[in-house]
Amino acid sequence: MLGLSPVTFLARLIVLLVGMPLHEWAHAWSAHELGDDTPRWEGRLSLNPMAHLDILGTILILLTGFGWAKPVPVNPYRMRTSPRAGMALSAFAGPASNLVLAMLCALPFRLGWVSLADIGLTRLNLATLLFLVADVSLNLALFNLLPFFPLDGEKVLVGVLPPRWGDALLSFRPYSPYVLLGLLFLLPYLGLDLVGWLIGLVKTPLQMLLFWL
């Protein structure tokens, strides 16, 4: 399919059916645990992919490795914490779930059940599949932690910054999606993939930590 190797397509499919629903469920579960029943009322406290997947986001992640699911509606004012802290915790839960999935994929390597020597980007074997699922999961986690609305990282940052700085970031929210679109599409078109560079800067040491160190 469009030059994709079978193992790459299968890894993306696994992330689509497992990693992305897990991400959205983590948002819903954390909000529910903090006292907000909105995700449960909306049917999002579920690991069923059909409750979370977006048609266009599904197509894109299969074809390009980049995509999205439907955002989980939460009401931070129903949470037992302060609204900003509750929103930050719920927002962070999504990327954290992708990091956990990457760690689970690395575990068989750590236990000696599979070998790093068997990894090859065109090889349809367990080692390559686990490595690629971990790779896509790390990409999703780190991308979502970028500090631009509507990504999770912006909500996390608003929750942990001093209130005045958080207010300044919130005032930037109407323009944030346009900056994100420029970073994702305009700069790469001009030959500068800043987002890919930033994600790679963090992902490489994480992969080293998970698989080699």
Catalytic residues: 24
**Left, alpha or beta for 74 (phi > 0: left; psi -120 to 50: alpha)?**
beta
Please state, in angstroms and rounded to a whole number, the distance separating the CA atoms of residues 134 and 52. Answer: 21
Q: Within 13 Å of residue 173, how many CA atoms lie on the same side as its CB?
A: 16
The encoded tokens of residue 36 equal 């907000």
Place of tokens 């989980």: 72
Task: Give the pair of three-digit tokens for residue 156.
Answer: 């996390």
Place of tokens 């719920």: 90
Q: Are 23 and 95 in contact (CB under 8 A)?
A: yes
Rounded Cα distance between 62 and 69, Å, is: 13
Distances (CA, A) of 36 to 45, 69, 79: 11, 21, 5
Residue 9 and residue 13: Cα distance in Å, rounded?
6
- Using the Cα atoms of residue 183, residue 194, residue 52 and residue 85 in order, give the sign of their dihedral: negative
